[in-house]
Structure formats: structure tokens, C-alpha cells
């Protein structure tokens, strides 16, 4: 990135350019590592604690897109000035990434003190930034780690701070997290699950299970949702809410999803033709332009009718890259695949998404269904959703139905489809066939009665 005019005010006379960030005049990653290396060496005989931290600007890319690259550079210079002004004579701040800064506090000896200093930095950066005749606001997330032992290296401290930053960003904007041993253990557990999951996907050991979706009025099965299940030979049963996020974060979700779709469509092609198969796409798949081609290739190989396939996507997935998601959805719908919006009501701009995308079906989140019998606001929200879907010509499925009273109330409100433990838990392929045989026998008995 070129240094714009005016950036020179940050430079100190005789500065070594190899250690300096040309945009802000702060030290760069190389200088930061050098400073920490020297401090560790100085304290080798008496390892008194000190703190480092990594600060990441929240949502800086949208600001760059909105105001332009030049304005974005100017904001980064203002951030640098504020951070540098907040440092005492012993402390150091450096720019170590596009919108990441690192700081070194040699005289901070405790986790509480590191937290307090980092919160102060966030507060300093929260004041408005001048961008020509406009202003912009920023928040920041910070991850900190403390040096305790002469055996620790700079790379270790930075890695711990990055882990803490990851936890800070996951917990929301403007947060500070200081690295703890519990995080270290959690990171080790995550790595164990990741390695085992990679083996399991390669060995095709992850299996699809199927949960029935019913017509609420007749209680007849109309389709099944595919859910991933995995039992590892060493780890035992690993819940999907544990391994699915890891698959997302570590880049395994694509191969995992393809494996599950292939197995699921091989099973579902043996079901009665009137039953559909519902399959979830992850947010990362909605930004991968190979997704539609992969799905179409799999159903072509397994011989599954695309008109019997429903793809479920969440609003979070849509918001990551709406243009990419729209292209993928269009390619799938062109061959007859239906598209559902999952977990409706939990996103931040659901109504806008319904206007921009043409969904075939909407799934009401279980959070509303679980409280429908005792919570008036949930009842009113569900009624409003159903009225809206009727106007838009969309089918509706309510998720998480566990009680007969919930099902009855939903029928009363005009909800067409239902899913939940009341109608059946997720089962493997063999048990699902048994479920279907029994369901169709019951239907036959009712017809002849």
C-alpha cells in the first residue's frame, strides 16, 4: 500500500524503513517481534510478567467499501495516532495487518490490568473519525496474552493473543478477551476433533440421519430433513453442534456436505416419490461458486430427482455475500430444486431478505414454537409470519414441535407443516425405512377402516 501525502508526520528521523509501516509510520510486525524478543531476553534471569495484545478493527471492510480506499487509509492513520498517543514511554504499538494493531505493555503484570488497558484502547478508538465532511465510527476487538515464563517465545505469545482475539470476535464487537489455560485446553480439544473429523470424512464415517416433516393437519409424512451424525472410534459420539462449527472454521464443511448429500440422496431415492429430502447448506458454501455444480453433480450420479430436493439456507449465510448466494440459489432453482429459509426470525433483516430472494418455503425457528402456549408475543409473531407467508405464496414449516398442544395451536393458526420430536427423532437410513413402512401401513388401515 502506497504511503499518502501527510503520512510522513508519523516518521521519526532515521527510522529503519524495513521495520516501519509506510502508511501509519508505526512499527510493523517485524519491529513488534523484535521488541518482544528483546524484552523476553532482558527478563530471562528474572521473568517478570508483561502483556501483549492484538487489536482488530470490527467491520473495517464495509467502511472501506462505503467511503473508499483513500478514506479508509486516512482512518487507519487516525487510529494509529490515537493508539500511539495512548502509549506510555515504556509501551509499544505496531501495525501488524491490514486493520490489525499489536501492542506491548512491559509494565502490565496481571490479566486484570491487561483487560483494563485494552478496554481503554477500545474506548479511545470509539470516538468518531473525520472523513471529509462526514464522520465514521469504529469498534475494535482485542485479544491479550501474558508472559510468565522464560521458556515462552514471541511466537507463542502472539499465537495465544490471536486465540484470545478469535474468542473476543465470536462473543461480539468491542470485546476484550485475555488468554487463559482453559482456552489452551479448548484449542487442543478443537484440534483433536478436527483431525478426527478429517479422518472420518475421508473414510466416509459421518452418516446422514433423517427427521420427519409432516402435514400438521393429517399428520402424514411429507419429507425428511437431513442431519449429520458422527461417532468416532476414539472420541465416541460427537454432537453436531460441536463438529459442524469446527468443519466450518477449518475448511472441512465442503467435503463433509458432499459426503452427506451423496449418502442422503442414495437413501432417499428409495422412498416413495411424493416425499422430499431437505438438506442444509452452510454459510461458507454460499460464497463458493462451485457449490451449485457440486450439488447438481451429486444428484446426477445418484439419480435423485432434483424436484424432490429442498435446500435450506439461513439468513446468516445470505448476508455473508448476497450476490454469490443469489447466483447459487438461481442455479439450483433452474433445475427444480426448492429453496427454504431456515431459522426465520433469528436474523437481523429477515423481511428485507424475503423481498430480495424468492423462497419456496420458510421455517419458523423453534424459539418461537417452544413458547407458543405461554407467551403471547411468540403467538403474535407466529400469526404474523403465517399471514405474511400466505400473502407471499410460501409454504411454512414450524420447527421444534415437542407437545401436542403446540401442534394443535399451530394448526389453529393455519400452519401447514411441522417438524420436531413429537413426530419423530432423527434416525439412520434403516430406521427411517422402518418408520416409513409403519406410517404407510397406518395410512392403509385408515383408508380401509
Residues taking part in catalysis: 399
Element counts in the chain: helices (H) and strands (E): 16, 16
Instruction: Please count the other Cβ atoms lying within 10 Å of the Cβ belonging to residue 165.
Output: 24
Nearest-angstrom CA–CA distance, 407 and 422: 9
Q: 192 to each of 236, 248, 365, how far by Cα in Å?
A: 12, 15, 32
Place of cell 499518502: 4
Length of the chain: 449
Instruction: Please count the other Cβ atoms lying within 10 Å of the Cβ belonging to residue 117.
Output: 21
Q: Which long-range contacts (CB under 8 A, 24 or more apart) does 379-383 make?
A: 379/409, 379/413, 381/345, 382/410, 382/413, 382/415, 383/413
Contact 370, 402 (CB under 8 A): yes
Q: Which three cell numbers stand for residue 192?
A: 483433536
Q: Which long-range contacts (CB under 8 A, 24 or more apart) does 42-50 make?
A: 43/147, 43/150, 44/150, 45/150, 47/147, 47/148, 47/149, 47/150, 48/109, 49/108, 49/109, 49/110, 49/146, 49/147, 49/148, 50/104, 50/105, 50/106, 50/107, 50/108, 50/109, 50/146, 50/147
Instruction: Please count the other Cβ atoms lying within 10 Å of the Cβ belonging to residue 437.
Output: 10
Closest by CA position to 364, among listed 333, 392, 391, 395? 395
Task: Report the alpha-carbon angle 332-334-339, nearest 5.
Answer: 45
Nearest-angstrom CA–CA distance, 47 and 43: 5
* Residue 362 backbone phi and psi in degrees, to 5: -125, 135
Amino acid at each position: 500500500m502506497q504511503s499518502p501525502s501527510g503520512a510522513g508526520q508519523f516518521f521519526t528521523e532515521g527510522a529503519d524503513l524495513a521495520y516501519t509501516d509506510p502508511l501509519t509510520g508505526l512499527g510493523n510486525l517485524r519491529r513488534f517481534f523484535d521488541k518482544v524478543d528483546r524484552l523476553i531476553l532482558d527478563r530471562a534471569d528474572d521473568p517478570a510478567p508483561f502483556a501483549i495484545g492484538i487489536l482488530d478493527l470490527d467491520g473495517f471492510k464495509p467502511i472501506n467499501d462505503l467511503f473508499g480506499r483513500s478514506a479508509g487509509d486516512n482512518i487507519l492513520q487516525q487510529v494509529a495516532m490515537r493508539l500511539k498517543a495512548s502509549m506510555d514511554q515504556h509501551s509499544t504499538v505496531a501495525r501488524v495487518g491490514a486493520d490489525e494493531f499489536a501492542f506491548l505493555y512491559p509494565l502490565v503484570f496481571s490479566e486484570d490490568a491487561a483487560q483494563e488497558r485494552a478496554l481503554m484502547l477500545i474506548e479511545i478508538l470509539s470516538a468518531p473519525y473525520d472523513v471529509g465532511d462526514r464522520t465514521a465510527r469504529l469498534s475494535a476487538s482485542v485479544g491479550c496474552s501474558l508472559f510468565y515464563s522464560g521458556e515462552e517465545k514471541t511466537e507463542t505469545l502472539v499465537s495465544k493473543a490471536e486465540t484470545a482475539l478469535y474468542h473476543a470476535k465470536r462473543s461480539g464487537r468491542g470485546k476484550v478477551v485475555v488468554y487463559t489455560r482453559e482456552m489452551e485446553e479448548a484449542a487442543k480439544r478443537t484440534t483433536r476433533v478436527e483431525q478426527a473429523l478429517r479422518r472420518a470424512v475421508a473414510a466416509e464415517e459421518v452418516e446422514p440421519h433423517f427427521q420427519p416433516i409432516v402435514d400438521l393437519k393429517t399428520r402424514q409424512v411429507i419429507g425428511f430433513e437431513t442431519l449429520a451424525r458422527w461417532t468416532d472410534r476414539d472420541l465416541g459420539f460427537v454432537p453436531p453442534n460441536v463438529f459442524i462449527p469446527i468443519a466450518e472454521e477449518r475448511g472441512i464443511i465442503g467435503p463433509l456436505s458432499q459426503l452427506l448429500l451423496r449418502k442422503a440422496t442414495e437413501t432417499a431415492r428409495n422412498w416413495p416419490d411424493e416425499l422430499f429430502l431437505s438438506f442444509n447448506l452452510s454459510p461458507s458454501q454460499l460464497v463458493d461458486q462451485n457449490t451449485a455444480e457440486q450439488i447438481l453433480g451429486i444428484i446426477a450420479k445418484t439419480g435423485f430427482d432434483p424436484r424432490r430436493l429442498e435446500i435450506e439456507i439461513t439468513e446468516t449465510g445470505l448476508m455473508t455475500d448476497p450476490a454469490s448466494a443469489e447466483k447459487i440459489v438461481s442455479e439450483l432453482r433452474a433445475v427444480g430444486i426448492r429453496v427454504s429459509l431456515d431459522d426465520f426470525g433469528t436474523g437481523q433483516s429477515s423481511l428485507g431478505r424475503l423481498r430480495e430472494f424468492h423462497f419456496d418455503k420458510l421455517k419458523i425457528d423453534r424459539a418461537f414454537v417452544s413458547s407458543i402456549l405461554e407467551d403471547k408475543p411468540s403467538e403474535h409473531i407466529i400469526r404474523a409470519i403465517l399471514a405474511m407467508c400466505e400473502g407471499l405464496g410460501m409454504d411454512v414449516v414450524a420447527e421444534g414441535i415437542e407437545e401436542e398442544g403446540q401442534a394443535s395451536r399451530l394448526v389453529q393458526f393455519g400452519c401447514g407443516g411441522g417438524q420436531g420430536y413429537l413426530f419423530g427423532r432423527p434416525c439412520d437410513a434403516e430406521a427411517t425405512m422402518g418408520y416409513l413402512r409403519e406410517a404407510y401401513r397406518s395410512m392403509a388401515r385408515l383408508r380401509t377402516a
